[in-house]
Amino acid sequence: MLLFVMRHGHAEPFSKSDETRALTEDGRAEVAAVCKERASELAQVKTLWASPFVRTRQTAKIVADTFGLTVEIQELLTGDTPVDQLLDALAQADPSVFPLMLVSHQPLVGRLVNGLCGSGDEHPLGTASLACVRSDVWATGCAELEWLQHRP
């Protein structure tokens, strides 16, 4: 099964709260460029989950609009969620939702990708970075990193 993991695009530094920070124009452009760069791979995505924060919903909407998807908001995709909780949700997900794409935050996206691949902190995810991992079992050390795309 394939899992795509994307960190939101560049966001404004300040807002009323962290949850309400929006993407900048550069952030929107970063996400659109990554979608264009990986269009053939992302065309496979069946399900799109995003954190409820504004910047991740905006990032996911760019992906959804590009590939004709619907964004499903998932509370467990906030940056401070323990990776084990997310792994449990992935393990319980029906196989029909895969290939699945997650749009979330640091430190969760980095911990997820590196944890799945057993790679320590080898694979950093900057804004708009997109990782593709393959696994039959969603557990620590059980996935292969297919590729990691940073913003062009």
**104-145, pLDDT tens digit by residue?**
999 999 999 999 999 988 999 999 999 999 999 999 999 999
Nearest-angstrom CA–CA distance, 55 and 27 = 9
pLDDT for residue 16: 87
Domain 2-149 CATH (choose: 3.60.21.10, 3.40.50.1240, 3.40.630.30, 3.60.110.10) = 3.40.50.1240
pLDDT of residue 50: 98
Q: Is 90 exceeded by the pLDDT of residue 80?
A: no
Per DSSP, the three-state class of 99 is coil
On the question of pLDDT at 14 being above 90, the answer is: no
User: Distance between CA atoms of 117 and 143, rounded to whole angstroms?
Assistant: 5
Domain ranges across the chain? 2-149
Q: Are 77 and 86 in contact (CB under 8 A)?
A: yes
Could you tell me if 3 and 133 are in contact, meaning their C-beta atoms sit under 8 angstroms apart? Answer: yes
Instruction: State the pLDDT at residue 152.
Output: 82
